[in-house]
Amino acid sequence: MSTKNHYAFVIDVARCIDCRACLVACSVENKVPMNHTRIWVHDQGVQGEWPDLSHTFVPYNCMHCDNPPCTEVCVSGATYKDAVTGLVLVDQEACIGCGYCVEACPYGARYIDQRRGVVDKCTACVQRLEVGLQPACVATCVGKARMFGDLNDPTSEASVAIQNATSVTRLDYEKDGTDTDPNIFYLNLPTTGSILSSDTFNQVPNATLPRDSRYTIAEEGWKKVAIPVLAAAMGATFLVQAFFFTKQLVAGEKEFEE
């Protein structure tokens, strides 16, 4: 889907020092409940053999994908890709908090705010964008690792950063017909495989993605049982009454009964 603005995050992993200022800033700016987080930093763990060690920190939030699996499964249409900004947002008045989208996201970017019963996630601080500010995490990043901007504008900070970078990676998820095309562009992401393969991350603490986009049991129930059975039932009754109606028309009306 092409949108007016193509907002994207650009994160230079070499600059991230895991200070977590971004996490606190987001929590305050967006009143995130204390037991959830909209954004996080993935600690890859100390790699290598002594003394040739390395340690990388990878910040994450919602990837505001070009083809988001979350919008595919939302039954009420509450989550959508905004036509103007290109951000993936949740209309929390239309959201019923069923959580299909939480399971469907390969990046684990969504959570259910049980206090309000709705789904919540990174919105790229759309309320700040409206008044010309950067998202809270970007504005406060001490290492200047986080950048944000409109890729449709070649002079934006994000566009320039990507142009000048030597190593640009996206954590694309391609499986079962889904190709997310995420909009976080990582610079200087190490390619030693510890985040890109979906089984390694289950063993590394704090690792979260990309993981399999999941159907819930209820959704499976919808698709495999409810819809086919009901379609068959309605089809059958419709056909039955259509048959009799046709017969009636053909036979003609009778004023009185036999």
Partner 1 sequence: MLKTDISRRDFLKLGSAAVSALAVGQFIPPPVARAAYQTEALDSDGSGYINTMCEMCVWRCGVRAKVVEGKVVKLEGNPDHPHSHGRLCARGQSGLMNTYDPDRVLTPLIRVGKRGEGKFRQASWSEALDMVADKMLTISQNYGPEAMVFSSTHNLSQPLFENLLYGFGSPNYGTQRSLCFNAMVTAFTLTYGIEEPARNYDNVQYILLVGRNLTEAISTSETTELIDSVARGAKLVYLDPRYTKTASKSSEWIPIRPGTDLAFLLAMINVIVIEKIGNCEFIEEHTVGCDKLPDHIADYTPQWAEARTGVPAETINRIAHEFAEARPNALAHPGWRTSNFINSFQTERAIATLNAIVGNIFEPGGCLIAEDTEAASIPLGSPPQPAYPRISATRLDGVPWKYPLVPLKLGVFQELRDAVLTGKPYQAHGWFISRQNPVQSLPDQRKTLEAFNKMDFIVTMDILMNDTGWFSDVVLPEASYLERYDPLMPLGDHIFIRQPVIEPQGEAKSALWVYKELGTRLGLGDFFQYKDEEDYINQQLAPLGFSLSELRLHGSVQTPVAEKSDEIKFNTPSGKVEIYSQTLEKAGFAPMPTWEEPPQPKAGEFYLLTGKVGQHTQFGTQNNQLLHKYEDVPRLWMAPEAAKSLGLKDWDMVEVTSPAGSVKVALEVTSAIRSDCVYLTPGFGHVSMALRTAYGVGVSDSVLHVTYVDPISGGQALSQTFVSVKKA
Partner 2 sequence: MSHTSIPLPERQRLRQKLIKKHNLANILTHWFNVASWLLLLPTGIAIISSPRLGITPIWWQEAFRNLFGSDANLIRFHYTIGFIWIFVILFNVFIGFRKYFVPFAAHRMLLDNDDIEWMKTKPLQMMGFIKDKPLPPQDAYNAGQKVYSYFVVICTLGIMVSGPVMVFKNLFPPIVKQIAQPIHFISVFVIVAWLFIHVYMGAVFPEEKEAFFSMFSGKVSAWYARAHHEKWYNEKLKEEMEWEDQVEAEVQKSQQLADEHGGPD
Q: With binding defined as CB under 8 A, does residue 139 bind partner 2?
A: no
Distance in angstroms (rounded) separating the CA atoms of residues 184 and 7: 9
Q: What angle do CA 195, 199, 205 make, to 5 degrees?
A: 60
CA dihedral over 60, 62, 66, 67, signed as positive or negative: positive
For partner 2, the binding residue among 76, 127, 167, 246 (CB under 8 A) is 76
User: DSSP string spanning 40-59?
Assistant: EEEEEEEEEETTEEEEEEEE
Residues 77 to 116: which contact partner 2 by CB under 8 A? 77-78, 91, 93-100, 102, 112, 114-116
Q: 20 vs 214, which CB is nearer to partner 1?
A: 20
Smallest gap from Cβ 22 to partner 1, in A, equals: 8
Contact letters for partner 1, residues 69-108 (x by CB under 8 A): ----------------------------------------
Distance in angstroms (rounded) separating the CA atoms of residues 138 and 128: 11
Which residues make beta-bridge pairs with 7?
Answer: 150
For partner 1, the binding residue among 1, 4, 46, 167 (CB under 8 A) is 46
Query: Which pair of tokens denotes residue 153?
Result: 């504008």
Contacts to partner 1 by CB under 8 A:
12, 14-15, 17-21, 23-25, 27-29, 31, 33-35, 37, 46, 48-51, 53-57, 115, 136, 139-144
